[in-house]
Structure 1
Amino acid sequence: MRPFEVVLSLAGLVASTVLAVPRLRGWRLAGCLLLLAPAAAVVQAAVEGPRWPLVPVYVLAGLLPLTWWVGRAVRPGRFVVVLGTLGGAVALAVSVALPVAAPVFRFRAPTGPYGIGTTTYHWVDASRPELFTADPGDHRELLAQVWYPAEKDVPGPHAPYIPDADAVTPVMAQLFRFPDFALTHFRYVTTHAVEGAPVARLPARYPVLVYLTGLNGFRAASTFQIEELVSHGYVVVGLDQPGAVAAVRLPSGRLIPGRPREEMQPLVTQSVTPQPTAPTLHGQALPNGIIPYFAQDVSFALDRLAGLDADDPHRLLTRRLDLHRAGVFGISLGGMNAAKACLEDARLKACLIMDVDLPADVVGKGLRQPTMLITRDAGTMRLERERAGGWPEEDIARTRRTMRAVYDGLPGDGYYLEIPGMFHLNFTDAPSWSPLTPQLGMCGPIGGGRGFDIVDAYSVAFFDRHLADRPSALLTGASKPYPEVTMATRTRS
C-alpha cells in the first residue's frame, strides 16, 4: 500500500474504534477524530490518485462521521449499535484487503552497476502495409521504448510502467476474464527508469537487445528482466507491435486494439503447423501465418536503431549503440517472433526464447546464432492446466518438441533450460501484480521472486557470454545457485 493509503486505512481504523467504544463516542473530540477519515480520503485521492480498490474505504470514511452524528441525534438501541459496529468492522477489513490484493506494486531494485534511463520513439515503416487495420493505405507503425544504462541515482521522476494504461489495461483485464476496471490502478505504477536521463558515460557504446512480448501483452510486460539487463550494461528496445500487443495508441491519438485470442490463434498456428487452407486477415491470405510479418518488425527496428546511432532526435543515443552486438529475447508469441527474426536477420548475434512452440521453418532450417531456450517440465505445464486451464497435451508436446529440436540443431553454442514450478506468466511481471496470483492460477509454485532470480541470472549470463565477452560460471555448470534448474549445453566444435 502507498503511504497515504496506509494513512487512510489507519484513519478509518481510528474512526471505527471511536464509534465502537461507548466511552470514546461521548468524548468531546470524538467528532474531530471521525473527520480524520474523510479528510484522509480527500488527501489520498488528491496526492496519490483515486483507484477502485479504495472505494470501500472512501465510502466508509464518509459514513463514519455521518453514523456518529445520526447516533447522537437518534440514540439507537444496543442491538443497532452492535450490528453497526460489526458492519463497520467488516467494511474496514474489506477496505484494507482490497488495496493489498490489488496493490500499486513496486519493482525490486536491479542488481547491476548502472541506473536506468528511458525514452520512446514512434516509427513508421512506409515499405509495409498495416495488416491489422482495415484501411489498405495504412502503413506499419511501431512504438519503441528504449531503456538504456544511466548513471546511478539520476534525479527525476520515475517513468510509468504502462504510459498508455487507460488503453492497454482494459484489454488485459478481458484476457484474464477480469472486469474492465480491474487493472486500472496500473496507471499509478512506476519503474526504476528516469525519462530522458543522460546515458552513462562509460563505456562508449552498449550492446542492444530487442524485447518482444506475448500475445495481448505490452512492451514492458517483463520489466523485471528488462531493468536487470539494462542495469548490467545493455540497451533494451521494447516494441509495441500492433496485432501482437493488447493495444497501441499512436501519437496521433489513434488506437489500434489487439484482436481476440481466438482470432489470432489460427494466424499464429499456421506458422507452426501450416494447413493447406491459409487463414486470412482483412481478406489477405497468409500461407506462412503471421509470424514472418511480426519478425520483420525486428529487422525494421534494427534499421531505425542504426539511424538513431547516427543521429538521435532525442539527443541521447547518438554514437552510443553497438549494433554489431545485437540480440533479441521474447516470451510466448514474442519468443516465436524472436526465433523467426534470428532465422532471417544475421545482424542478430544472440537469441533468447522463452516458453513457446516454434515456427516450422525455424525448426526445419535451424538457427545459426548462440541460442538459449527456457521452458518448464511437462508436469509443471499439466499443473498449470489444472489450476488455470489451457496447455492441452498437444500444446505441451509441441512446445517441448520444437524447442528441443531447435536446440539439438544448433551448430554452435546453445542452452536448453527447464525450470520446474514456473507457470507461463512467471516469465512476465505477473507475479508482482498481486499477492493473489498463485491462488488465481496465474503463477506457479516456484514463487515470483525465485522465478525472477533464475530468469534474470541466466539472461544476463547468456548475453554477457555472447555479446559482451564476459564468461559466466553459471553457463558451464561450475556454479549451482539454482539446483532446481536442469540445463543442457552445446558448445562450438
Structure 2
Amino acid sequence: MMRAFEVVLLVADAVMLALLMISPQRSRCGHLALVPIAAAIVQLLMEGARWQLVPAYALGVVLFAALLVRAVRPAGGTGSKDAAEPVGAGSAGGRRRVRRVVVAGLGLVVMGGAVAVPLAVPVFRFPEPTGPFAIGTLTYHWVDEARAEIFTADPGDRRELMAQIRYPAEADPSAPRTPYLENAEAVTPALGRVLQVPGFVLGHLRYVTTNAVRSAPALPGRYPVLVFLAGRMGLRQVNTFQIEELASRGYVIVALDQPYAAARVIFPDGRASDYDPRMNNRAFKVAHIPHLARDVTFALNRLVDIDRNDSRLQGRLDLGLAGLFGHSLGGVVGAQACMMEPRLRACLLEDAFMPDEVVRTGLRQPTMWITRDAATMRLERHRAGDWPETEIEEHHRTMRAVFETLPGEGHFVQVPGMLHLDMTDGPLLAPPLLDRPSDQFPEVLLESTRK
C-alpha cells in the first residue's frame, strides 16, 4: 500500500499525462504545468524521497516541460489548422500524429512503471497485533566483562550485545511509533547482502515504523520472557511481525543482536561490528556455536538485574517462565542454549539443523520445530542456489532425532511451500525477490508426542 502523498503524486502525473494526450487546445494546459512539480515537492517534503518513486519524479519533470512548451510555443497553431492539413503518413499533420502516438505510448509505459515499482516495494506497515496489550520497547547495550570476544584478535576485547526488549505497555494512541531499523542508513547495506540486493533497494526501510512506543510505561504485572535469536547475517529486528504479536499477548521479548553473526551491529558510541565472513565456513560456524549460545546465558543474567533494579521494567519479568525462539542460525544456537541453560522452560526452533552435542544429549524442555519438507527445500535451492542435498538431509535428520528423544511434549511442524525467509519479515522487506516455489500451501503436517 502506498503512502498518501505518493498517491497524490501519481494521480497528478496521470491527469497531466491524459491532458497532454487528449487536449486539442494545447494552451489550455498551460496553467496546470506546475501541478506535477508541486505534487512531487509536497511528497518529498512530507514523506521523503525514495528510489522507487524515481519514475514518478521523472515523469513529473517531463510533463512540466511538455506542458510549459505547449503554453509558451504552441506547435502547429490551433486545433482547426491541424484539422485542415492532410492526414497522410507523409504529411506534416500525419507526422505530428505519429509523434503524438509514440510520445503517448512512451508516457504510458513510464506511467505504468511509476505505479508498479512503489506498489511492488512499498513503505509497508506492520499488521496491527491482535492481542489486548499495547507495546513498549527499550534498547540496551550489554558488555560481558567476564568473557573475551573470540571473533576478534585483540585479547582485551569483551563480548558485547545489543538487546531490544518489547513488552506489554500502557496504550498511548498519540505517541510516535519507533522506527523499524535504528541507524537504517548504516544497516541496510548489510541487510541487502542477506537478500542479495544492492543496499539502496532497501532504502525505503528508513521510513517504516513499528507498532511499539519507545520507553512506554510498562503495564503492572509479571510476564513470561522469551529470548529471540536471528539467523546468520540477520538483525534483531527481522522477526518484528512475530515479536509484536507475542508482546501484544502478554510476553516480554528480548531480541539479541549477536555481533559477527549478525549482518551489522551498531553500538551506542557509533562503532559497528560487521558479519564475519568466516561464518560461511561450516567448521568455523559450528565451532563458534557454544560461544554464541553463551550470549543467552549472559542475557538471562542481565534480565535478572533489570527485573530487580531497572525502574522501567522492575518487577515485570517472570524469569521463572522463560523460553527461547530462533530462526535458522538462531535456531541452531538456540538449541545449544536450551541444552545448556535450565532456566529456559520451552523452545521454538525455526528451520534449523541441530548441533551434534544437542543430537547426542537431547533437550529436556517442551520444544517445537517449524520447518518445510525436503521437496520444498529442493525447489528453493533451484531458485536461489541454497540448500545442498547434504544440508537438506542433515536439516531433517537432526531435528527429527532430537524431536523423537524428547522426554515430554514436543511438536514437529512442516509447512510445504514455505520459504526459509517466510518465517521472518523477509516477504515484507523485498516481496518481489521472495517469490515462493509453489502457488499453494498444502495442509500443514503436524506430528506430536506427549509425555
Q: TM-score, normalised to structure 2's length?
A: 0.91
Is residue 213 from structure 1 mapped to residue 213 from structure 2 by the alignment? no
Contact 2:188–2:203 at 8 Å: present in 1 too? yes
Cross-structure match for 1:453: none
- Aligned equivalents of 2:232 and 2:357: distance in 1? 20
Q: CA deviation at 1:435?
A: 4.2
> Aligned letter for 1:151?
E
Q: Deviations over 1:368-395 (max 9, x none)?
A: 1111111111111112122222112111
Out of 428, 438, 459, the position equivalent to 2:424 is 428
Cross-structure match for 1:476: none
- Aligned equivalents of 1:444 and 1:242: distance in 2? 35
Is residue 371 from structure 1 mapped to residue 372 from structure 2 by the alignment? no
Contact 1:18–1:24 at 8 Å: present in 2 too? no
Contact 1:422–1:445 at 8 Å: present in 2 too? no
Instruction: Write the mapping of 1:6-25 to structure 2, written as runs, cut at 5 A.
Output: 6-23=7-24, 25=26
1:24 to 1:167, Cα distance in 2 relative to 1, 3 A: farther
The SS at the match of 1:417 is strand
Q: Deviations over 1:424-447 (max 9, x none)?
A: 1111111223442443x5x76457
Cross-structure match for 2:279: 264
Instruction: Write the mapping of 1:212-361 to structure 2, written as runs, cut at 5 A.
Output: 212-260=229-277, 263-266=278-281, 269-270=282-283, 279=284, 289-312=287-310, 315-361=311-357
Cross-structure match for 1:401: 397
Cross-structure match for 1:90: 109
Cross-structure match for 1:464: none
Contact 1:295–1:340 at 8 Å: present in 2 too? yes
The SS at the match of 1:391 is coil
Out of 173, 177, 181, the position equivalent to 2:196 is 177
Instruction: Write the mapping of 1:433-444 to structure 2, written as runs, cut at 5 A.
Output: 433-439=429-435, 441=436
1:186 to 1:397, Cα distance in 2 relative to 1, 3 A: same
The SS at the match of 1:237 is strand
Out of 87, 103, 125, the position equivalent to 2:144 is 125
Contact 1:133–1:256 at 8 Å: present in 2 too? no
1:257 to 1:31, Cα distance in 2 relative to 1, 3 A: farther
Contact 1:12–1:37 at 8 Å: present in 2 too? yes
- Aligned equivalents of 1:25 and 1:124: distance in 2? 69
The SS at the match of 2:406 is coil
The SS at the match of 2:233 is coil
- Aligned equivalents of 1:370 and 1:41: distance in 2? 55
- Aligned equivalents of 2:194 and 2:172: distance in 1? 37
How many residues are paired up? 430
Cross-structure match for 2:91: none
1:435 to 1:265, Cα distance in 2 relative to 1, 3 A: closer
Cross-structure match for 1:487: 446
Cross-structure match for 1:2: 3
> Aligned letter for 2:255?
G
Q: Deviations over 1:406-440 (max 9, x none)?
A: 1111111111111111111111111223442443x
Cross-structure match for 1:34: 33
Q: CA deviation at 1:19?
A: 1.1
- Aligned equivalents of 1:444 and 1:402: distance in 2? 26
> Aligned letter for 1:47?
M
Identity between Structure 1 and Structure 2 (%): 50
Larger radius of gyration: 2
- Aligned equivalents of 2:126 and 2:199: distance in 1? 24
Cross-structure match for 1:187: 206
- Aligned equivalents of 2:430 and 2:386: distance in 1? 21
1:101 to 1:38, Cα distance in 2 relative to 1, 3 A: same
- Aligned equivalents of 1:16 and 1:94: distance in 2? 14
> Aligned letter for 1:226?
I
The SS at the match of 1:342 is helix
1:19 to 1:213, Cα distance in 2 relative to 1, 3 A: same
- Aligned equivalents of 1:411 and 1:4: distance in 2? 57
Is residue 381 from structure 1 mapped to residue 398 from structure 2 by the alignment? no
Q: CA deviation at 1:258?
A: 1.2
Point out where structure 2 has 5 or more consecutive residues left out of the alignment. 77-95
The SS at the match of 2:287 is coil
Point out where structure 1 has 5 or more consecutive residues left out of the alignment. 271-278, 280-285, 448-482
Is residue 139 from structure 1 mapped to residue 158 from structure 2 by the alignment? yes
Contact 2:417–2:440 at 8 Å: present in 1 too? yes
The SS at the match of 1:160 is coil
The SS at the match of 1:149 is strand
- Aligned equivalents of 2:268 and 2:202: distance in 1? 23
The SS at the match of 1:191 is coil
> Aligned letter for 2:244?
E
Q: CA RMSD in A?
A: 1.8
Q: Deviations over 1:185-220 (max 9, x none)?
A: 11111111111111123xx10000000010111101
Is residue 73 from structure 1 mapped to residue 92 from structure 2 by the alignment? no
The SS at the match of 1:158 is coil
The SS at the match of 1:105 is coil
Instruction: Write the mapping of 1:446-465 to structure 2, written as runs, cut at 5 A.
Output: 446=440
- Aligned equivalents of 1:133 and 1:32: distance in 2? 64
Contact 2:426–2:434 at 8 Å: present in 1 too? no
- Aligned equivalents of 1:364 and 1:164: distance in 2? 42
Is residue 157 from structure 1 mapped to residue 176 from structure 2 by the alignment? yes
Q: CA deviation at 1:290?
A: 1.0
